[in-house]
Structure 1
Amino acid sequence: MAERVFLMRGFGATTMQVVAAEAGASKETLYRHFGSKGDLFAEVVGNRARLLREKLDADFDRPHAMAEVLRDLGTNLLTHMSGPEVMCLLRIVISEAPRDPDLGRIFFASGPERTRKRLAEYLEAARARGEFHGRSAALAANIFLAAVVGSLHMVNLTLHDPPVLTPAEIRERVDEAVAMFLNYYG
């Protein structure tokens, strides 16, 4: 409910009163559960990050070959990130982070940084299995994620009506990133 209100109105125009009315609750109840509008928004961002983490964690937890794990991870990441809700939330986080640095830290730690760390851990395990041959799993994780995401953030954050990646475009982009990664590190 609160996410929908923030997405429709943005952070500045959203009030606890509006969220309470949409939820059929009192403003006092919201303040009791969330000390401020910023705390409520941080919870919204955290919930969205948890949904993505569940999908991405499932990619790491399967006993498949590195190519398949990377392909699934890249596909899930791009599919999720290219959704309009995620881009809208990201725009709000970027615009509010200077006023509320904790919001930016929460987003970064629970989203991009956690994904990078999980991938680096996976690559270390792949090294032990003889599948990964890089010197630095952390650097390789950064490189793979950058290859998958590319300029998607900039396009989606700066264009009013950004083009939506089709499933075929996502597949092509991820396949190229995986092939490049395996060519160097595999």
Structure 2
Amino acid sequence: MTSEPTDPKRQAILSGATRMFLAHGYRNVSMEKIAQAAPVSKATLYNHFDSKNALLAAVISDLCESLLQTMTQLTIESDGVENNLTQIATSAVDLIYAEDALAIYRLVVAESPDFPELGQLFYQSGPQAVLTQLEDYFRQLNADGSYHIADPVFAADAFFSMLKGDLHLRCLLSKTLRPSADEKKRLVSQVIAFYMRGMLHAKS
């Protein structure tokens, strides 16, 4: 890991940017306003992020950091496939239903018709990075010879889609609805049990 995520100036900028984006939308927030919200000088802001797009990408990546770290730490031999997928699902659910993550999702969906590059930036900075890593993990399982996963791309997409489902849509449509810790734990357990039976086929 780099030291960037623990840099207090960088964290102040990310926190200020997140607050400003969520309060005022993407198009209505200038780099100057973000510097004031942090608060840091404009020189410090541009030393860390050279554009508003770069800053939004960093905000999204920061939200996804725990999940991405979980993904990069996976090995075929480590703790078994079911345990690995449980760790990924737990981290994913914590992210998917986090208040800031839901708010950023709403923001990007609202802004994307006028700023299509914003939607692409969001996808590349978060969902695509996570999907690609899970696809690679499934390909490693195939190469290792322990499992046969016919379509790693579909398998990765199905995994995260099951963790979202109708609940994620309802949370997006409500600013108060959130699954409890027990509900998230039960969701992970049910998805993993179903997924291990229906999607992954161990070789005998």
Q: Is residue 171 of structure 1 aligned with residue 185 of structure 2?
A: yes
Aligned counterparts of 1:55 and 1:69: Cα–Cα separation in 2:
9
3-state secondary structure, aligned to 1:159: coil
Q: Could you tell me which residue of structure 2 aligns to residue 22 of structure 1? A: 37
Deviation at 1:160, TM superposition (A): 3.1
State how 1:42-61 maps to structure 2 within 5 Å: 42-58=57-73, 60-61=74-75
* RMSD, aligned α-carbons: 2.5
Higher helix residue share: 1
Deviation at 1:146, TM superposition (A): 1.2
Ranges in structure 2 where 5+ consecutive residues have no aligned partner: 1-15
Q: Could you tell me which residue of structure 2 aligns to residue 118 of structure 1? A: 133
Q: Could you tell me which residue of structure 2 aligns to residue 69 of structure 1? A: 84
Alignment CA distance shift 1:26-1:125 (3 Å):
closer
Is contact 2:70–2:87 with CA below 8 Å preserved after alignment? no
3-state secondary structure, aligned to 1:75: helix
TM-score (norm 1): 0.82
Moved more, 118-127 or 8-17: 8-17
Q: Could you tell me which residue of structure 1 aligns to residue 108 of structure 2? A: 93
Aligned counterparts of 1:176 and 1:42: Cα–Cα separation in 2:
32
Deviation at 1:27, TM superposition (A): 5.1
Q: Is residue 145 of structure 1 aligned with residue 160 of structure 2?
A: yes
Aligned counterparts of 2:57 and 2:141: Cα–Cα separation in 1:
34
Is contact 2:67–2:88 with CA below 8 Å preserved after alignment? no
Calculate percent identity across the aligned residue pairs: 27
Aligned counterparts of 2:119 and 2:19: Cα–Cα separation in 1:
20
Alignment CA distance shift 1:36-1:142 (3 Å):
closer
Deviations 1:48-76 (A, max 9, x none): 34454223323x24712110011110010
Deviation at 1:138, TM superposition (A): 1.4
Moved more, 23-32 or 1-10: 23-32
Aligned counterparts of 1:99 and 1:33: Cα–Cα separation in 2:
27
